[in-house]
Chain A
């Protein structure tokens, strides 16, 4: 394959600029391969995060021609042969150097979510859950924490409301706990009050960029918003709770039927 030019943002928190690098490409290469070639041949200090190189660890998130992508899963042949490929670090988190950003904020958010609290085991020491009951949660647990959804979420990206919203990744983290058949913890109040479910205006960019194709909005955030509605904004259910005296937080179908 031919030589190709890549325009890569180089710099740090103080400032920087785009630099062009020409590299000789091999068949089937992805953008991360090109960056590695640039490292080996032109700029040994080009900072890039990567690990598995197979779309499983979620380290190599960046913006390629303006689209938030995993660079290890972005094949170069999907671009036109004369199209310039521009690579930027993700926008939402502070740049450390070149394509590497400080994503530690995300790790702090995870700590704010109440941990898993299982119910009692069955008499034989096992937990029993049916496959059909765990599939919903398993979808969320596919998350590889690439933070592309956090990056593209305009609440964090443009409106700078990291103080009010934990972002899509942690909304599905809450969903994965709340919908866990074994979990008995209640996280609905903080989902509204602290984690900021109301900040999401369901414009679905998180779902669009998810490399694991998790239906973040439809299966995670919206159901969580609906659970908040159950608790706070539904007078009928409120009345029902008053009458039946059930202060129980988990609207388990079984326990109510």
Chain B
């Protein structure tokens, strides 16, 4: 087929990915009157944002008036082990409250305080109750609000349309993107002045993950091939509490809200083991007796937080260790108990979807029995490297926001900061794209040879006489990542993982798919594989470079945080011979004002609210 016969759709701004960040970016672009397209791999409103349960972090100060953006910023930096991009963490903490209030203006119905304001709950790593929430379905509320708002904004939503690769013009700036309709398998050419990637992470490279089939690192793969850089890819967050039984739902998330609302972690000796894992840095702010933890839960403002609410990396590692040392639950997790801590109707009211999830998937009544939980790959802190303010990558016209962008969360993300991230940076990436698009007079030209080449490559798996089953390759990849690039890592495993990934790359070239291109999941899996493998390799290479343990990245051969590594981010970029290269890059000095905030005492920061 010649390119001129190809279905062609033109937009000023094309947003890829219709989760929270993508829709928020599209709303921004469309509200400025730009022709905006929104590409969604599945149906609108099904993206992983709906899975977010606990809440959206924003220093509204509705529940505890001592809170302010600086404390949120400080918590975020401390959670990220000071590897975050300072400016991004600042923008995030400053703008999150406005983004949340804006949602309310668009029809979102958050849970209320006694005074009728947006209620906020406690969460791991957040000093004060900060998470605006709706029971345990906050993500659903947010995506539905954005979705219902965006349909009246003149955005062209292209559903079940998968992006294959970016197209650049002869100057190397973004010119569009080739995609295909899942329904028919037909190709479609999008021409656009600016492209925003909000494609999420690549959790599907692991076997135990909370991510669905969609999270195959599409944005990461495409951006990388177009010459963009990735940052902090070694930091993959394992959520401490995923379901472990039954096997088929292993990895599905159990919200941190369970712990926020009083749930405790127990090993098979019935010990509340988290008290043994309190890191020095958090010791002054963490309860060291059950009695104090209980007082905190009762609302005592002077009591310190229970250790179950330490950051996710700490809890995930603690659980891994308990299991490894033989103190785990029958199905290889630990126990999460809220039944003995809270009355049944409280649990059903505050955690309705957890109640149903366990009731229906595991036949367990969480108001009577403890849950069995274990770590599950949940989130990529790292991602496409973007400019702090405009969210533009080093490829002109390419922007990124949400999980697929990196830098904001540093070495570890606090719960609740992802929903605020996608709102804040979704908007900013929309702004960035508008500004860029407005500088161009016309749509850049698309390289037709490249389009032809991409179409040939995409249809190749359908035309092979024989080859490997794409599902098997995906399964192998998941095995590799699960065993070699898990929560605790070492050079030997990582190198082994890299070697196996190389083999897998070769195998991918011979993948064979049966039947036609029309709504063919096998073909879809095959086309996702290259992006997923790039993502997996990026994580592995970055993990090998960072020779220390920090945040979500734990090396058994380099235990503990090393001060010299505080100076570096690991950057991945296309190197010689088309190989993925990982390098240390020295961090810029932090702005003085931000550094002062990060190192200030809580009292100093709280005092500002009295003014």
Q: Classify A-B as touching or not with yes or no (CB < 8 A).
A: yes
Q: Are B42 and A49 in contact (CB under 8 A)?
A: yes
Asked if A54 lies at the interface with its beta carbon under 8 angstroms from chain B, I say yes
| CB contact under 8 A between A131 and B111, given known A28-B362, A57-B46 | yes
Chain B window 360-391, contacts with chain A (Cβ cutoff 8 Å), 1 for yes, 0 for no: 11110000000000000000000000000000
Q: Does the CB pair A47–B360 fall under 8 Å? A: no
Q: Would A59 and B471 be within 8 Å (CB), given that A30-B248, A134-B109, A180-B109 are in contact?
A: no
Known: A53-B212, A73-B360, A128-B117. A118 touches B42 (CB 8 A): no
A130 touches B116 (CB 8 A): yes
B471/A40 in contact, CB under 8 A: yes
Given contact pairs A54-B361, A57-B51, A98 touches B519 in the complex (Cβ within 8 A) = yes
The answer on a CB contact under 8 Å between A54 and B521 is: no
Min CB–CB distance A51 → chain B (angstroms): 5
Taking a contact as CB atoms under 8 Å apart, the answer to whether B514 and A96 are in contact is no
> How many Å lie between the Cα of A40 and that of B109 in the bound state?
41
Q: Contact between A44 and B213 (Cβ–Cβ < 8 Å)?
A: no
The 8 Å CB contact of A54, one of B43, B357, B513, B514, is B357
Quick check: B51 and A55 within 8 Å, CB to CB? no
Q: Residue A215 at the B interface, CB < 8 A?
A: no
Known: A44-B471, A56-B140, A126-B117. A138 touches B109 (CB 8 A): yes
Does B106 make an interface contact (CB < 8 A)? yes
Binary CB contact string for chain B from 241 to 255 against chain A (1 if under 8 A, 0 otherwise): 000011111001100
Which A residues are CB-close (under 8 A) to B214? Answer: 51
Contact of B469 with A59 in the complex, beta carbons under 8 Å? no
Chain B residues with CB under 8 Å of A57's CB are: 45-46, 50-51, 212
Residues in A whose Cβ lies below 8 Å from that of B183: 96-97, 102
With A39-B521, A56-B140, A141-B134 as contacts: A51 and B246 at CB distance below 8 Å: no
A145 within 8 A of B: yes
State which residues 169-210 of A face B: CB under 8 Å: 173, 177, 180, 183
Chain B residues 66 to 119 lying within 8 A of chain A, measured CB to CB, are 101, 104-107, 109, 111-112, 115-117, 119
The verdict on A86 contacting chain B, using a C-beta distance below 8 Å, is: no
List residues of chain A with CB within 8 A of the CB of B516.
45
Contacts A44-B471, A44-B521, A126-B117 given; indicate if A137 touches B109 (C-beta within 8 A). yes
Closest to B250 in A: A28
A27-B246, A28-B248, A115-B148 are contacts. A44–B44 as well, Cβ < 8 Å?
no
- Chain A interface residue count: which class? 35 or more
Give chain A residues whose Cβ lies under 8 Å from the Cβ of B472. 40
Measured CB to CB, the closest approach of chain B to A186, in angstroms, equals: 16
**A111 CA / B137 CA spacing, docked (Å):** 24
Does A51 lie within 8 Å of B42, measured CB to CB? yes
Q: With A28-B249, A54-B357 as known contacts, state yes or no: A39 contacts B134, CB within 8 Å.
A: no
Flag whether B600 is at the interface (Cβ < 8 A): no
Q: Nearest Cβ distance between residue A246 and chain B, in whole angstroms?
A: 26
* A144 and B107 contact, CB distance less than 8 A: no
Asked if B212 and A44 make an inter-chain contact with CB atoms under 8 angstroms apart, the answer reads no
Do B471 and A47 have beta carbons less than 8 Å apart?
no
Q: Which residue of B lies closest to A99 (CB)?
A: B519
Q: Residue B356 at the A interface, CB < 8 A? A: yes
Residues of A within 8 A of B159 (CB): 104, 107
6 further contact pairs, Cβ within 8 A, besides A128-B115, A142-B137: A28-B248, A56-B137, A57-B46, A107-B159, A115-B149, A127-B104
B→A interface (CB under 8 Å): 42-48, 50-51, 101, 104-107, 109, 111-112, 115-117, 119, 134-135, 137, 140-141, 144, 148-149, 151-152, 157, 159, 183, 212-214, 245-249, 252-253, 353, 356-357, 360-363, 469-472, 475, 513-516, 518-523, 525
Question: Nearest 9 pairs between A and B by C-beta?
Answer: A28-B246, A44-B522, A116-B107, A128-B116, A45-B515, A97-B519, A47-B519, A40-B471, A131-B112
Q: What are 22 A-to-B residue pairs whose CB atoms are below 8 Å?
A: A28-B245, A30-B248, A40-B471, A40-B475, A45-B514, A45-B516, A45-B522, A45-B523, A51-B48, A52-B46, A52-B252, A54-B357, A55-B353, A55-B361, A56-B140, A57-B212, A75-B363, A129-B112, A137-B109, A138-B109, A141-B144, A145-B45
